[in-house]
Chains A and B, each alone.
Chain A
Amino acid sequence: MKKLLALIGATLLLAACSGGVEDFREPKSEADLSGLTLATSNGTYYQIMYSRREDVELYVANIETDAIQAVRQGKADVYVSDEVLLPDEDQKRLGMKMAFRGQECFDVAFAVKKGNTELLEQLNAFLATAPLHDITDHWIHGAPYVDEPPYEINPDAKPLRCVTGANIFPISILCDGGEWRGIDPDILRRFAHAQGRPFEMSFQDLGAAIIGLETGQADIVSANLLVTEERAKSVDFSIPYYQCHPGYFVVDRSAGGRLSLRERLHMNLVVENRWRLITDGLAVTIIITLCSILLGSLLGVGVCVCRRSKRNWLRKSADIYSDFINGIPTLVLLLIMFYVVFATSGLSATVVAVITFSLCFASSSGAIFDNAIASVPQGQTEAGLSLGFTPYKTFTGIVFPQAVCKGINLYIGECIALLKNTSIVGYIAIQDITRASDLIRSRTFDALIPLLIVTVIYFLLAWLLRRLLLLIIKKDAR
């Protein structure tokens, strides 16, 4: 516990020390950017646009929150993004301001799978007549919300599966109760309902979302997508539903003090019931971990039996299996399983994650079981046999209990590694506890508190898991 406190203290100190940039001339137009570092997030149009300008350095963050954070911490000078992504209110809270608005004007549209003309035509027809201004005015300018007309929805119809690559106000945000709101979901929900279909939305990296479009796991991808020629080569765009200007944001040096820790905790946990994202994510993490340990251990017994078999081909196949699993990063395997192997199976992402982690766990736990059994001297088996025990009873009564004692620590270590590994499931749109902290971060633009909270939770989970396993295994071995 003392170590943990020291860790938290050190992190807080680091956060407090960061920031503090020397004065620089505020840019007033695109030409002024020369010599400055520009922060943007991966997959945006600005990334492509400014990678062509040699006099501008780019800082590419994974999500918008991190790009903003980079500017606040002085790693970059200017944050560029769609103007609407950082409204006045948020600018004030973050101590930032808009330096200038970009000259260009971009069309924003939805993406569908290339060649899916039927859906594209339906969508275009809907967009041409829908009251899009009602929705954008509400989200951007705070105009009163206009309820959607009473469509007739058939709950049994195939749902319209949408994936958003932007979890950011006002494009699309996950509200309390798991409902997606914002410009994109509100338009798409109406479109789905107008078709009489239920509406579904999930959040993934834009790159993964586009793959999902190709493999048929998603019907429509939205992410405040700017229509560009490059993108039009790989997806089909709807007609634009909105036009946006780029905004260039810098740190506002005249802005007041920071938020207190108490205010930050309140903002990250209490506002909009954000703690529920964490508790829901926690449940998902626990379920995936426990199911994978259970299934993986069962498979691991199989792997162990193969490794110890007298049959050469069984031993060989166990070797090949382990080499195969060990040779692929878990994340890559997870993506392959989700987007290739089980792409059309209709299995939920959670099930695919459990299968993937079980396969990985089977390989490592199988090796642990094998080594534990092999570490019990052959003499123990011979002594058992010579007393008149059957080979089976010799194994269960004499070899196995000793193997458990020898392998238990490695096994528990592997289980905890699995728990920590589950933090990658966000890549296939599962909202585990790590993804929950990402979601909160992208709403509050606060990097520290959500990360700190999940750190503590993972730490406690690992500790609990170790206790639990020790309890179960010790009881079983007796």
Chain B
Amino acid sequence: MSYISIRHLTKSFTFRDGTQLTVLKDVNCEIQKGEVISIIGPSGTGKSTLLRAMNMLEPPTSGEIWVDGENITAKGYPLDKMRRKMGMVFQSFNLFDHMTVLENIIYAPMELLHIPADEAKAEAMELLKKVGMAQKADVYPSSLSGGQKQRVAIARSLAMHPEVILFDEPTSALDPTMVGEVLSVMRQLAQSGLTMLIVTHEMRFARDVSTRIFFMNEGVIYEDGTPEQIFGHPVHSATKAFVNRIHKLVYDIDSDDFDFLNIHTGINRFCIKYNITDKIEPANALVREMLFERMRQYRPVTIRLTHAELTGVTALDIMVEHLNLSPLTDADRQALQPNVKELIEEPTTRGFRMKMIL
């Protein structure tokens, strides 16, 4: 029998103005003891909500969650008992600011498991050593860096000897220089055989450490498999785009009085977001050149900026419908030359495409 079983789980939020947002739509899965599962997927697809539903921080709208053979969604179920077996590590660390590092760790074992103070302290020091924070035992969390806080939070969770630990984007709030120290602690935990569920955007980590991957999209577990299956041979196109990390920006232009400044801003944002600021200049120059000069008489036109994070390739596609010959002259190609690494002109099923690799 599986350790955690999720059956027909849905979760929707109702806002004050009466609108409803469904975040989870009929999620089903079985989780065995000892599994290390990474939950990946685009933002806003319910990854965190699913994780938070598992320890009932986010009570589901319908469906059932069974943990260790018990229905924790049943009314009146003693959630505090269940949560002692299911630790959680938060994106924002949530250390208790009014307690020292050591007090943070021993508080729950002493209060809930009634472990004597000296015993709890000894164990806490062991855990702190394990996460490399022993010499900070007596400081307050406010003087720690983000990475240090997160390592303490992991130790705090471990002090309750949980069967499972849920990690809710544990490195998302961290400075890039501190991600490594937290991931290495988690790697170490994964090897110790602890059951872990990790919502993460760290693809390499997910691929290396997990025994299983959930790809979530649009409120369901879209694809569920081993890292090899998900990253090597994804079945669905959404999975493919996500694991290859291909990002798109699309504009349809059907008349001459389109909002060029809006496109300009969109391109800037896109390049800043994916850290390809060196492409801002050429992309804008090409769009301006093509729309106002070379392709002036062709409407409607679709322009698409794509960036594949894995390969680092950025491309600007310009597509014209109902056209099977290239609209470009040699002079045009000459003019585009300085900004384009490679120009591919090809007819498609719907028209003609010019792919410019930046």
Contact B90 A388 (CB under 8 A): no
* Chain A 362-392 interface residues, beta-carbon cutoff 8 Å to B: 377, 379-380, 382-390
B49: shortest Cβ distance to chain A, in Å? Answer: 13
We find that the number of chain A residues with CB closer than 8 angstroms to chain B is 18
In the complex, B75 has a CB within 8 A of chain A: no
Q: From the candidates A377, A385, A389, name the one contacting B111 in the complex (CB within 8 A).
A: A389
A161: shortest Cβ distance to chain B, in Å? Answer: 55
CB neighbours (8 Å) of A417 from chain B are none
In the complex, A413 has a CB within 8 A of chain B: no
Binds B, one of A12-20, A239-247, A284-292, A395-403: A395-403
Q: Scoring B residues 308 to 329 as 1 if CB is less than 8 Å from chain A, else 0, what string do you get?
A: 0000000000000000000000
Contact A402 B97 (CB under 8 A): yes
Contact B160 A388 (CB under 8 A): yes
CB neighbours (8 Å) of A398 from chain B are 96
Contact B80 A380 (CB under 8 A): no
* Chain B 100-135 interface residues, beta-carbon cutoff 8 Å to A: 107-108, 111-112
* Chain B 50-82 interface residues, beta-carbon cutoff 8 Å to A: 55, 57, 79-81
CB neighbours (8 Å) of A402 from chain B are 96-98
B99: shortest Cβ distance to chain A, in Å? Answer: 9
Counted as pairs of residues, one from A and one from B, with CB atoms less than 8 Å apart, the total is 60
* Chain B 35-57 interface residues, beta-carbon cutoff 8 Å to A: 55, 57
In the complex, B264 has a CB within 8 A of chain A: no
We find that the number of chain B residues with CB closer than 8 angstroms to chain A is 27
Using CB atoms, name the residue of chain B closest to A388.
B84
Contact B98 A379 (CB under 8 A): no
In the complex, A53 has a CB within 8 A of chain B: no
Contact B80 A383 (CB under 8 A): no
Using CB atoms, name the residue of chain A closest to B93.
A379
- Contacts known (A393-B111, A397-B107); A385 close to B83, Cβ less than 8 A: yes
In the complex, B156 has a CB within 8 A of chain A: yes
CB neighbours (8 Å) of A380 from chain B are 94, 96-97
* Chain B 283-307 interface residues, beta-carbon cutoff 8 Å to A: none
Contact A387 B94 (CB under 8 A): no
Question: How far is B55's CA from A384's CA once the two chains are assembled, in angstroms?
Answer: 12
Contact A387 B160 (CB under 8 A): yes
Contact A388 B94 (CB under 8 A): no
Question: How far is B86's CA from A377's CA once the two chains are assembled, in angstroms?
Answer: 22
Contact B81 A386 (CB under 8 A): no
Most chain B CB within 10 A, of A382, A383, A389, is at A383
Contact A377 B94 (CB under 8 A): yes
Contact A383 B96 (CB under 8 A): yes
CB neighbours (8 Å) of B147 from chain A are none
In the complex, B87 has a CB within 8 A of chain A: yes
CB neighbours (8 Å) of A143 from chain B are none
Using CB atoms, name the residue of chain B closest to A391.
B80
In the complex, B356 has a CB within 8 A of chain A: no
Contact B107 A386 (CB under 8 A): no
13 extra interchain contacts, Cβ-Cβ under 8 A, other than A387-B160, A388-B84, A388-B108? A377-B92, A379-B92, A382-B90, A385-B83, A386-B83, A386-B86, A386-B166, A387-B156, A388-B81, A388-B112, A389-B108, A389-B112, A402-B97
Which B positions have Cβ atoms within 8 angstroms of A? 55, 57, 79-81, 83-84, 86-88, 90, 92-98, 107-108, 111-112, 153, 156-157, 160, 166
Ranked nearest first, the 9 interchain pairs of A and B with the lowest CB-CB distance are A388-B84, A383-B94, A386-B88, A379-B94, A387-B108, A388-B83, A390-B80, A388-B80, A379-B92
